[in-house]
C-alpha cells in the first residue's frame, strides 16, 4: 500500500475535503455536524456548527466564486457506533432517515464569520432529500447530487441538480439515479461525472453549456466503471482520470482509456479524496469510519478546481 501520512485523528466521520493554499484542509464532520479546519500540525478548529446531527449533516463541500464554502446538507442521518467506527445507517434495517429529519439543503458558509445561510431546500416544490456532493463550473454555477434517504422498506429516487450560488435558480438535470453520490467535471468542463453508491457505477454525461447536458437520460450515459463495490465521492486528475472513493476497496481509478485499478486504504469506509500542494500531487483522503484525515504522494497532479487557489 502507498505510504500514508496521518494528519489528524478523532474526527467524526469526515468528508468533503478542500485543500487550502496555506496547507490546511477544510472538511466536514458529518457525525458532529461541523465544518472543520485541519491545520498542517493536525490541530482542528471548528469553522461552522450546523447544529443537531439528528437534523443537520454537512456532507460535500466546495469553494464558490465568492470565496465562501458551499455545503450539501443531508438533513441528518441515523448513526451506529461499532467499536471505534461511526457507520451512517441503522445496520439491521439500512435506515438513514432520522425521526427529527426536516429537509436537506444547500448552505453557504462565510469563512470569516462562520455564518451559515441556507440557499435551497426544494426544487419545483419538491424538497431536497439528502444533498451529498457538489462541483462548481467555470461560470460560477454548481452541480450537486441528491443521495436520498432510506426508511424502513423505502428508498428515495433522486438525481442531479444545477444551481446558482446566489439562491436565484435551481433545476433538476438528471433523474432518476440510484443514490447518486460523488460528482465532478472533466478538465475541459465538457463531461460531468456522477458516481452511484450501491451500484458501484461511474457515469459520464456530456455538458453542452452551463447547466445543460447533451443527454440527461442515465440509460444513455457512458459508463466509465461498473464495479461490485460501493462508490462514494470523487476527484479528477489533470489528465482526466477519475478517482472515486470506493467503500471497502479504497480508491478506484478510472482512466480515460477505460483501465480501472484500485489503491487500498486502511479503513472500511473511505469516502473522499482531494488534491493539494504546490503541484497538486498530494492526495488528501478521508477515512471516515475511523475518523482520520491522511495524505500521500500521488503519481499525477490533480485537477485545479474552478475557484480553489
Domain-located, residue 247? no
Domain-located, residue 274? no
pLDDT tens, residue by residue, 193-231: 999 999 999 999 999 999 999 988 888 889 999 999 999
> In the chain, what's the furthest Cα-to-Cα distance?
49
Domain-located, residue 278? no
How far apart, in whole angstroms, are the C-alpha atoms of residue 45 and residue 161?
Answer: 31
Domain-located, residue 101? yes
Reduce the DSSP state of residue 250 to 3 states and report it. strand
Domain-located, residue 198? yes
pLDDT value of position 143 = 98
Residue 290 CA, chain-centre distance (Å), reads 18
pLDDT value of position 126 = 96
pTM greater than 0.95 (yes/no): yes
pLDDT tens, residue by residue, 42-61: 999 999 999 999 999 999 99
Domain-located, residue 137? yes
Residue with cell string 473511505: 270
Q: Over 60: is that where the pLDDT of 11 sits?
A: yes
Whole-Å CA distances, 93 to 55, 78, 99, 155, 264: 20, 11, 15, 12, 28
Residue 165 belongs to domain spanning: 11-232
- Write the secondary structure of 121-163 as one string of H (helix), E (strand) and C (coil): CEECCEECCCEEEEEECCCCCEEEEECCCEECCEECCEEEEEE
Domain-located, residue 213? yes
pLDDT tens, residue by residue, 162-175: 999 999 999 999 99
Domain-located, residue 194? yes
Q: What is the CATH number of the domain that holds 42?
A: 2.120.10.30
Structural domain total, the chain: 1
Amino acid at each position: 500500500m502507498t505510504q500514508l501520512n496521518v494528519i489528524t485523528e478523532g474526527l467524526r466521520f469526515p468528508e468533503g475535503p478542500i485543500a487550502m493554499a496555506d496547507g490546511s484542509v477544510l472538511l466536514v464532520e458529518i457525525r458532529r455536524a461541523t465544518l472543520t479546519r485541519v491545520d498542517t500540525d493536525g490541530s482542528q478548529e471548528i469553522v461552522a456548527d450546523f447544529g443537531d446531527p439528528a437534523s443537520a449533516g454537512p456532507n460535500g463541500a466546495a469553494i464558490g466564486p465568492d470565496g465562501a464554502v458551499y455545503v450539501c446538507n443531508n438533513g441528518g442521518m441515523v448513526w451506529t457506533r461499532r467499536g471505534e467506527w461511526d457507520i451512517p445507517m441503522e445496520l439491521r434495517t439500512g435506515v438513514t432517515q432520522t425521526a427529527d429529519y426536516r429537509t436537506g439543503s444547500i448552505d453557504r458558509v462565510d469563512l470569516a464569520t462562520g455564518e451559515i445561510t441556507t440557499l435551497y431546500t426544494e426544487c419545483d416544490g419538491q424538497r431536497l432529500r439528502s444533498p451529498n456532493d457538489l462541483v462548481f463550473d467555470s461560470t460560477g454555477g454548481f452541480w450537486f447530487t441528491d443521495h436520498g434517504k432510506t426508511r424502513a422498506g423505502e428508498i428515495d429516487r433522486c438525481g442531479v441538480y444545477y444551481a446558482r450560488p446566489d439562491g436565484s435558480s435551481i433545476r433538476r438535470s438528471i433523474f432518476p439515479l440510484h443514490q447518486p453520490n460523488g460528482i465532478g467535471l472533466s478538465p475541459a468542463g465538457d463531461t460531468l461525472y456522477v458516481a452511484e453508491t450501491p451500484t458501484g457505477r461511474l457515469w459520464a454525461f456530456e455538458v453542452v453549456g452551463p447547466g445543460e447536458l447533451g443527454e440527461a437520460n442515465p440509460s444513455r450515459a457512458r459508463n466509465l466503471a461498473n464495479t461490485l463495490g460501493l462508490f462514494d465521492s470523487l476527484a479528477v486528475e489533470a489528465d482526466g482520470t477519475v478517482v472515486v472513493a470506493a467503500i471497502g476497496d479504497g480508491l478506484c481509478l478510472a482512466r480515460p482509456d477505460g483501465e480501472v485499478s484500485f489503491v487500498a486504504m486502511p479503513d472500511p469506509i473511505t469516502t473522499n479524496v482531494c488534491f493539494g500542494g504546490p503541484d497538486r500531487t498530494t492526495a488528501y483522503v478521508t477515512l471516515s469510519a475511523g475518523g482520520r484525515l491522511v495524505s500521500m504522494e500521488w503519481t499525477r497532479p490533480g485537477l485545479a478546481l474552478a475557484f480553489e487557489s
